[in-house]
Amino acid sequence: MTLDKQNAARIDQESLFHPFTSVADHLRDGPLVISEGSGVRVKDIRGQEYLDGMAGLWCVNLGYGRKEISDAIAAQSRKLSFFHAFNSMSTDVAIECADALLARAPVPMARVFFGVSGSDANETQLKLIWYYNNLLGRPRKKKIISRWNAYHGSGIATASLTGLPGMHTLFDLPLGPVLHLTAPHHYRQAPAGMTELQFSQHLAKELESVIEREGADTIAAFFAEPVMGAGGVIVPPATYFDRIQPILKKYEILFVVDEVICAFARTGNMFGAQTFNLQPDIMTLAKALSAGYQPISANLITNKLYEVLVAQSDKLGIFGHGYTYSAHPVPAAVALETLKIYEERDIVGKVRQVAPRMQAGIRSYADHPLIGDARGIGLIGAVELVRDKATKQSFDPKAGVAAYLVRRAQHHGAILRNMPGDNVAFCPPLIISEAEIDEMMGCFGKALDDTWAMVKERGLA
């Protein structure tokens, strides 16, 4: 079979089982088959170009087709295409990469454990936390606190941490030891009339009362994304983390900061932890660690955990965990090159320069009758579409209003992403220019007009 622009969609429908895709919709509508990318743009197999307003899946921070990175892949594949890190084996490039990450971490970190994806990295975090408490002789301290709307991955344990009911219901999840708290989503979750500051206080009280109800001796860790991504791009209310962190310290609960989307300049600092003044005990990195060019993730752990491993693991048993491709030399070489580019091109400075344009663009639609909320920080943002602005009433999810908007944006030349609750996300490559931001927002504006016309025509509002 030779694939061409005529048969690609059909062969996809007959062969590929897609993640997070409605099988019925896919068989009806078919795929968008992307076959090339350069800068902030991708091209489909028919030659149609799109501005990628989602950096792939929140990861292509440096844009497509960077020669320095493809050269790094080729050079490392020729030099050493694979070696592993089990049983004290190592590679020069994995060592360099771990050292480079420790040198750049937002708080002092002791060691780096490599994996392949954000999901497997968070799975590692969980096992590490349980192992740590077993080494410390605290077998009851195992429950994990997460939040509704969180996204921490799609494995059995990480989908349990994730706070999206659609990832639980048909999979018999969540697993027992996960507790979900209210999402720090002022627009949706704050009781009427409550300010951001009061809402943060309210959420801190909720945390403390759950700890007291369950017993601090049963709670091991609190997982949080600095800005929730896939759950709707939710920027926490002012002082939220300032109030949460002392409570975690007080009850000896580890703070796991999931930086899978926020790290590498997305929020206007190298790490989300810097934007929100966080002191993680453990951090999860993935996605933009390689700018999406190769699969790689990293768990950064502080000395607080590492010294317990040093003292106890010989006596009680090794950390029997890892993946064939943990510390794979090719993605490690890519991560090193990517870190170099972030710094040499001052990507943080670049984000700070253009982010106000995108944030103003998003908020310029706030008065539109379909937009309930418009929010974001740095080069990540979202709008929430509502049926009734005054009451914040949502559309029937079956109407697929945000999905329609995203299809129309694609028609007008920009790839955006709809998420549960009729949210539409913006997360472009960080190399985007102001003119390209205007172009992306223009495509969104046209799609919003089309959606408004559709909503009126079908009597949905």
Ligand X SMILES: Cc1ncc(COP(=O)(O)O)c(C=O)c1O
129 lies in the site for ligand X, by CB under 6 A: no
Residue 58 in contact with residue 379, Cβ under 8 Å?
no
- Alpha-carbon distance of 232 to 415, in angstroms, equals 17
Number of H helices, E strands in the chain: 16, 15
Whose Cβ is closer to ligand X: residue 125's or residue 133's?
Answer: 125
Residue 161 in contact with residue 143, Cβ under 8 Å?
no
Query: Which of these ranges, 40-48, 145-153, 163-171, 209-217, lies near ligand X under the rule CB under 6 A?
Result: 145-153
**CB within 8 Å of 209: residues ≥ 6 apart:** none
Among 56, 106, 153, 174, the residue binding ligand X under the rule CB under 6 A is 153
Query: Which of these ranges, 21-29, 257-265, 336-344, 420-428, lies near ligand X under the rule CB under 6 A?
Result: 257-265
* Position 229, amino acid: G
DSSP for residue 236: P
What phi and psi, each to the nearest 5 degrees, are found at residue 50? Answer: -135, 140
422 lies in the site for ligand X, by CB under 6 A: no
383 lies in the site for ligand X, by CB under 6 A: no
Nearest distance from C-beta of residue 1 to ligand X, angstroms: 30
Whose Cβ is closer to ligand X: residue 297's or residue 410's?
Answer: 297
User: What are the CA-CA distances from residue 66 to residues 39, 72, 110, 297, 328 (Å)?
Assistant: 8, 10, 32, 20, 21
- Alpha-carbon distance of 242 to 5, in angstroms, equals 53
Q: Which helix (H) or strand (E) holds 99?
A: helix 92-104
289 lies in the site for ligand X, by CB under 6 A: no
Nearest distance from C-beta of residue 385 to ligand X, angstroms: 21
273 lies in the site for ligand X, by CB under 6 A: no
Whose Cβ is closer to ligand X: residue 296's or residue 386's?
Answer: 296
Nearest distance from C-beta of residue 248 to ligand X, angstroms: 19
Query: Which of these ranges, 1-9, 67-75, 253-261, 334-342, lies near ligand X under the rule CB under 6 A?
Result: 253-261
- Alpha-carbon distance of 237 to 231, in angstroms, equals 16
Nearest distance from C-beta of residue 225 to ligand X, angstroms: 5
CA 189 to chain centre: 21
- Alpha-carbon distance of 7 to 456, in angstroms, equals 36
- Alpha-carbon distance of 394 to 355, in angstroms, equals 29
With tokens 């890190």, the residue in question is 85
Q: Cis peptide leading into 174, omega within 30 of 0?
A: yes
- Alpha-carbon distance of 317 to 407, in angstroms, equals 53
Structure tokens at 229: 């991504």
Whose Cβ is closer to ligand X: residue 270's or residue 441's?
Answer: 270
Residue nearest to ligand X (CB): 118
Residue 390 burial (CB count, 10 A): 7
Among 63, 226, 229, 378, the residue binding ligand X under the rule CB under 6 A is 229
Nearest CA among 297, 289, 344, 338 for reference residue 73: 338
Whose Cβ is closer to ligand X: residue 85's or residue 234's?
Answer: 234
Whose Cβ is closer to ligand X: residue 262's or residue 443's?
Answer: 262
- Alpha-carbon distance of 13 to 325, in angstroms, equals 30
Structure tokens at 371: 């937009």
230 lies in the site for ligand X, by CB under 6 A: yes
Nearest distance from C-beta of residue 154 to ligand X, angstroms: 6
User: Residues 78-117 vs ligand X: string with x where CB under 6 A?
Assistant: ---------------------------------------x
189 lies in the site for ligand X, by CB under 6 A: no
224 lies in the site for ligand X, by CB under 6 A: no
Nearest distance from C-beta of residue 236 to ligand X, angstroms: 14
Query: Which of these ranges, 149-157, 343-351, 412-420, 445-453, lies near ligand X under the rule CB under 6 A?
Result: 149-157
178 lies in the site for ligand X, by CB under 6 A: no
Nearest distance from C-beta of residue 207 to ligand X, angstroms: 20
264 lies in the site for ligand X, by CB under 6 A: no
148 lies in the site for ligand X, by CB under 6 A: no
- Alpha-carbon distance of 205 to 201, in angstroms, equals 6
Residue 385 in contact with residue 424, Cβ under 8 Å?
yes
What phi and psi, each to the nearest 5 degrees, are found at residue 68? Answer: -55, -35
Q: How many residues bind ligand X (CB under 6 A)?
A: 15
328 lies in the site for ligand X, by CB under 6 A: no
User: Residues 352-381 vs ligand X: string with x where CB under 6 A?
Assistant: ------------------------------
What phi and psi, each to the nearest 5 degrees, are found at residue 373? Answer: -145, 140
Whose Cβ is closer to ligand X: residue 243's or residue 417's?
Answer: 417
With tokens 């087709």, the residue in question is 65
Among 225, 337, 436, 439, the residue binding ligand X under the rule CB under 6 A is 225
331 lies in the site for ligand X, by CB under 6 A: no
- Alpha-carbon distance of 224 to 255, in angstroms, equals 8
Nearest distance from C-beta of residue 423 to ligand X, angstroms: 14
Whose Cβ is closer to ligand X: residue 288's or residue 441's?
Answer: 288
The residue ranges that bind ligand X (CB under 6 A) are 58, 117-119, 122, 151-153, 225, 229-230, 258, 260-261, 286
